[in-house]
Amino acid sequence: MRILQLNLERGWRGGERQTLLTMQGLRTAGHEAFLLARRGGALGRAAQAEGFTVFDCDGAPGMAAALLGRAHHMDILHAQTAQAMSVLALLRPMLRGRIVFTRRTAFAPKGRPGRSRWKWSRADARIAISQAAAAAFRSLDLDVRVIPSAVMAVPPDPQRVEALRTQFGLHGGTVIGTAAALSPEKDPETLIRAVARLRAHSPDIVFLHCGADGAAGPAARALVDELGLAGMVRFAGFQEHIQDLYALMDIYVSSSLFEALGTSVLDACLLGVPVVATRVGGHLESLADGRGLLCEAGDDQVMAAHMQRLIEHPDEAADMAGRAQAYARVEYDPGTMVDRYLDLYRTLCPTAQGAPS
């Protein structure tokens, strides 16, 4: 099969990583994978570095022009973002390939429900990365298949781990960590307040925040100063090879207000780091059955209590982390995700020539 992945994002976040993982798996399975992406974006550069054919464009109008010029060769047109699905929906009568849309968000669609239903109904198949992400489709009486995103365990580099330990002053004490942009939906202020509460019981903790700056950054830094946490909080910024920073963490915490899945949490699970997270979206699935400790979004008191529990009971923390690691290795394996996509693609294109299962 010839499969075109579409993603217009400029940066590099979970959806872009999933797009590239999908392409890698398709190629390994013997199929031809192509990418239509924003010119100069991180995803396009990464795909080109791996030898994929990348068609670039400048925004939605450019994507439409590229589709009309290239798409007649493709069996599957897979929109990995909502914007890409909007373009495909408008061009549907002029496209030969079957359309697949993966929804990666858990919040309700903006605007009138009828508009979202019309757009999403133009896809031949709708995918959600979690039950939380699937809810919007179901609310509009649209069929949806849940295919969780994948995470790949990358072993930390011991030399870089030690260099980062020195860089951020993490010798001794308990390291509480997170990997999230400083954006409002990640609610960094609740996590900072939880760290302040935890300090009263565990004064040797260090909080390591990894993630790009964003709209919530100024308020988060001001709160650190207000609460007198400057000596124990490290803002590391966006970091490549994030697994080297996970290796420094004793506890991983996610304070997100909503998460369709939460691949950063899954990264922590894969590396055996015990997790405290908010009771939202995909966390309810990945951390169920004792694989993590959950609290309500915005509840810094319970968040702090959960972290303290893991510090005081290391055997319980290790057992919980082991269960989460075993689950993540199976349920969120890249090969499993690609196999599920291929089963769907073959259903949509039974006559297309492709590698056997």
Give CA–CA dist 307/253, Å, rounded. 8
347, 98 contact by CB (below 8 A) = no
Kindly give the residue spans of alpha helices, DSSP state H, lying in the chain.
Answer: 14-28, 42-49, 59-70, 82-91, 113-121, 131-139, 158-167, 188-199, 217-226, 243-246, 263-270, 283-286, 300-312, 314-331, 334-348
Report the run of H or E that residue 127 belongs to, with start and end.
strand 125-128
Residue 98 structure tokens: 């079957």
The pairing of beta strand 206-210 with beta strand 32-38 = unpaired
Whole-structure pTM value: 0.82
235: left (phi over 0), alpha (psi -120 to 50) or beta: beta
101, 85 contact by CB (below 8 A) = yes
Q: Give the lowest-confidence range in 12-21, 161-170, 288-297.
A: 12-21
Q: What is the reported pLDDT for 357?
A: 37
Give CA–CA dist 311/173, Å, rounded. 11
Q: Residue 356: pLDDT above 60?
A: no
Residue 244: Cβ within 10 Å count: 21
Q: Residue 355: pLDDT above 60?
A: no
116, 98 contact by CB (below 8 A) = no
Report the run of H or E that residue 102 belongs to, with start and end.
strand 98-103
Give CA–CA dist 304/191, Å, rounded. 8
Q: What is the reported pLDDT for 312?
A: 96
Domains of the chain: 2-150+333-348 (3.40.50.2000), 158-331 (3.40.50.2000)
- Reported as a pLDDT band with limits 50, 70 and 90, residue 153 is confident
pLDDT digits (tens, 9 = 90+) for 114-137: 899 999 999 999 999 999 999 999
Q: Which residues are bridge partners to 128 per DSSP?
A: 103, 146
64: left (phi over 0), alpha (psi -120 to 50) or beta: alpha
Give CA–CA dist 98/100, Å, rounded. 7
Q: Which residues are bridge partners to 316 per DSSP?
A: none
Q: Which value, to the nearest 10 degrees, does the dihedral of the CA atoms of residues 176, 258, 326, 312 take?
A: 30
Residues sharing a CB contact under 8 Å with residue 342, sequence separation 6 or more, in sequence order: 26, 29, 31, 354, 357
Max Cα–Cα distance, the chain, nearest Å: 65
21, 330 contact by CB (below 8 A) = no
Question: Which of 56, 70, 58, 93 has its CA nearest to residue 3?
Answer: 70
Distance, first Cα to last Cα, the chain: 13
pLDDT digits (tens, 9 = 90+) for 71-97: 888 999 999 999 999 999 999 999 999
Q: Quick one: what percent of the chain has pLDDT higher than 90?
A: 85
pLDDT digits (tens, 9 = 90+) for 216-256: 999 999 999 999 999 999 999 998 888 999 999 999 999 99
Residue type present at position 192:
I
Cβ burial of 234 (10 Å; 0-12, 13-18, 19+) is middle
